[in-house]
Amino acid sequence: MAASRYRRFLRLCEEWPMEETKRQRDLGAFLRQRVAQAFREGENTPIADPEACDQMYESLVRIHTNFYKNKYPRLKDTTFTGVTVEDCRMILATDILKQMEDMKKGTWKRLREKFSAKKPEEDLK
């Protein structure tokens, strides 16, 4: 029975899209990593709690298929601020967040990083 659960999770991982704009914060990549950890031995992995495993799979399928989005359709595709889904995706992209983080740095810190020979990560050690 573990083999069929493993195959179902693998199929879900294959179908789950990867978002290139969210490097190191992508739900699809995290899901693949967790499935690899949970099923270390592949189809031969013993499952301690099959009911919890099945419940987790069903929950992920509902997220993947937009079950609740389809069950409870929204009247508008914007938030209360008027921001669209595409605007939110653009704002939450890793590159944009990095730029915003750089903008928050003070002038002295930016100058120090610019003219420093060592990387800022080495400063923290």
Q: How far is CA 72 from CA 44, 57, 69, 95, 97, in A?
A: 39, 21, 5, 32, 31
pTM: predicted TM-score of the whole model, two decimal places: 0.62
Domain boundaries, the chain: 1-73, 76-118
Q: What is the pLDDT along the chain (125 residues), one digit of tens a residue?
A: 678 898 999 999 999 888 777 777 788 889 999 999 999 888 888 888 889 999 999 999 999 999 999 999 888 777 777 778 777 777 777 676 676 666 677 777 767 777 776 655 555 55
Task: Check if the beta carbon of residue 38 is closer than 8 Å to that of residue 45.
Answer: yes
